[in-house]
Structure 1
């Protein structure tokens, strides 16, 4: 069974990335959207334990938005024990721990441990339960630890793909070095101090000419405030060129009006 157009060019990222294990999934569409969520976070290995409607199911490929290769490579297992038999650490997602004595961690904490296992070349898995009931006690007995999502206690309902996406996101972000904030400058660049000073000279010269800075006592503070305004905002070179044009045009218009009187 393959996707209709082959889907995205997906492949495992790292030999020891976590295996996503769906225990008794009920809807093929949920399996497909799970594959889509996995692809978002760089996860590839998918195992299905006793899917209710059997496997493969065409609807899963339709719902995967091109994550076909994850579904193509998915394996089916009769029991959780069989699905985790070759793994060394297993984590079970569980919204309501049922009187079980196990470590409980957040998705972020679990991602840190999963990455540590990856560095040690250990194989890991993430268990997700059926859509309606979640994992039962026997399922969780196969896990080393439980993962509980710290969501709004008044409404903690997630669908299967959302639950997988949270873990996939935390897994990906733990190793991601994207800066938390950048400035998109496109074809220009953040202005240099020299470019800013050149503009300030232009601006102050015209402000003096029009009489805006005529109050000698207030002039230093007004000029200083203008410098603070343009220095703090990472003005781009393109924006400065526009401002140069604005100042020049205002000056030109002022002179034209005077000449017309």
Structure 2
């Protein structure tokens, strides 16, 4: 079927990407893919899907959103799925006490468009149908997306939740004005892969220095440290500088030997 001459060209934007973390049902994946293409988004990432992939049930429900399903990236760890992102938004009904900005769908859409206009790469992640994302997974995000649902009946189908965001993003696409967005002056923003390397380096040295005490508090302490740096929106150069600082503190002034770092 060819497109009529008077029809506008199709919208197929690669960013933001939608990331489904441990999705359980192929039907829901297909419904998300359909909603994405309805509103002009094409990049889908799947983290450890429960059922085999490609999934025939997803193809049936997607009803022609082939460009989304055929190019979907399947990863087995969230770290790999987010590696190239510079801005991560986690959809969650509960902030869970994490010190992060909480955005509604319209604000999230506007901020993402503003960030991408500055060259950032955004990913919006949704958790599995049964329980949502774990706290450590949400801790990787720069902000939390919360939908204005009825507090007495807040449980929302995965595809419906993704549809609300995709609609808000399509609506923001029509706006002529974008909110201001911070951008480091001399260096692009650090990717998730670069931040994870910095966090791993920092946590390794803090463990060596017995900072995480008592042990049962270590997960919370690590989340708090990550939140501190994520709020700062580090550039690539700043992340590299922090790793140099960690190394200097470790091997300088009679500390550990260089070969042990």
* Cα separation, 2, equivalents of 1:145 and 1:129: 15
Report what 1:56 is aligned to. Answer: 54
Report what 2:44 is aligned to. Answer: 46
Alpha-carbon displacement from aligned partner over 1:31-63 (angstroms, at most 9, x marks no partner): 000001101111100000000113111111001
TM-score w.r.t. structure 1 length? 0.62
Shift of 1:12: 6.7
Shift of 1:98: 1.7
Report what 1:108 is aligned to. Answer: 106
Stretches (4+) displaced over 4 A: none
Aligned counterparts, 1:1-261, within 5 A: 13-14=12-13, 17-176=15-174
Is the contact made by 1:11 and 1:69 (CA closer than 8 Å) also made in structure 2?
A: no
* Cα separation, 1, equivalents of 2:138 and 2:58: 26
Unaligned runs of 5+ in 2: 2-8, 176-261
Shift of 1:11: 7.6
Shift of 1:101: 1.4
Query: What's the RMSD between the two structures over aligned residues?
Result: 2.0
Is the contact made by 2:12 and 2:42 (CA closer than 8 Å) also made in structure 1?
A: yes
Q: Secondary structure at the match of 2:125?
A: strand
Is the contact made by 2:13 and 2:40 (CA closer than 8 Å) also made in structure 1?
A: no
Alpha-carbon displacement from aligned partner over 1:140-184 (angstroms, at most 9, x marks no partner): 12110101111222212211110110010000001226xxxxxxx
Q: Secondary structure at the match of 1:76?
A: strand
* Cα separation, 1, equivalents of 2:10 and 2:75: 22
* Cα separation, 1, equivalents of 2:128 and 2:150: 21
Structure of larger gyration radius: 1
Is the contact made by 2:17 and 2:43 (CA closer than 8 Å) also made in structure 1?
A: yes
